[in-house]
Amino acid sequence: MLVNSRTLARSGLRSPFKVRKAEAIVQTLTRAKLSDIKPFHFIEDWISGVSTITARTGYTGEDGFEIYVPWAEAPKVWTALLEKGAPFGIKPCGLGARDTLRLEVKYPLYGQELTSQTNPLEAGLGWAVKLDKTDFIGKDALIKLRRRDSSESWLVSNSKLPEFLGPVIKFMTLLALVKLVLLRAELNRP
């Protein structure tokens, strides 16, 4: 499948997997059985009379769909999603919301947390680096970095991280505290 951004538009719709609002909303617009689409699979489909590629993919850690449509038909599908989603509380949002979700689940994005100037340890991906495995390019350098910085927290202390992460870390810390307070309040309800 070839996706050309000059001819196709994409809309993403997400919701927590347990809630499945995204699936319920899109299901109102298609006859395809969306619950049969496995994660990272897609179907060719029709939504509101428009030929689509509907994929159960995303970059937020939440369940949902990416819907690819011919560029000229995008407003029709967008409007239908918003109308059918209104009873579910659907709200349009931008990349900032996506970034908040992906940061919560530690999904790095090239050009943000990952660059040609960062290593996996600086990017918070040390969990994915298996230094006890066979040789690979950069292994010796990463071992030296891990030994040198084993007591440091890369995310907070390393100066090579992109500048925008300072405010993001503060915001995410505040968000985590708010979530904890709300969770405690919910658990303490009679």
Which CATH architecture is the domain 8-93 placed in?
2-Layer Sandwich (3.30)
Q: Which residues pair with 13 in a beta bridge?
A: 65
Of 111, 11, 14, 25, nearest to 61 by C-alpha is 14
Domain with CATH 4.10.1250.10 in the chain: 108-187
Backbone angles phi, psi at 71, to 5 degrees: -50, -45
Please tell me the predicted confidence (pLDDT) of residue 105: 76
What are the pLDDT tens digits along the chain (190 aa)? 445 567 888 888 887 655 678 899 999 999 999 999 998 899 999 999 999 999 998 777 788 899 999 989 999 999 999 999 999 888 888 777 777 777 777 778 778 777 888 888 877 778 788 888 888 888 888 888 887 765 444 444 444 445 555 565 556 666 666 666 666 666 665 5
| Distance of alpha carbon 25 from alpha carbon 91, whole angstroms | 12
Domain with CATH 3.30.1360.120 in the chain: 8-93
pTM of the model: 0.62
Q: Quick one: DSSP state of residue 17?
A: T
Mind giving me the DSSP string for 50-99? EEEEEE---SSSSEEEEEEEEGGGHHHHHHHHHHHHGGGT-----HHHHH
Backbone angles phi, psi at 88, to 5 degrees: -95, -5
CATH among 3.40.640.10, 3.40.630.30, 4.10.1250.10, 1.20.58.60 for 108-187: 4.10.1250.10
Please tell me the predicted confidence (pLDDT) of residue 156: 43
Please check whether residue 9 is in contact with residue 69, taking contact to mean a CB–CB distance below 8 angstroms. yes
Please tell me the predicted confidence (pLDDT) of residue 7: 87
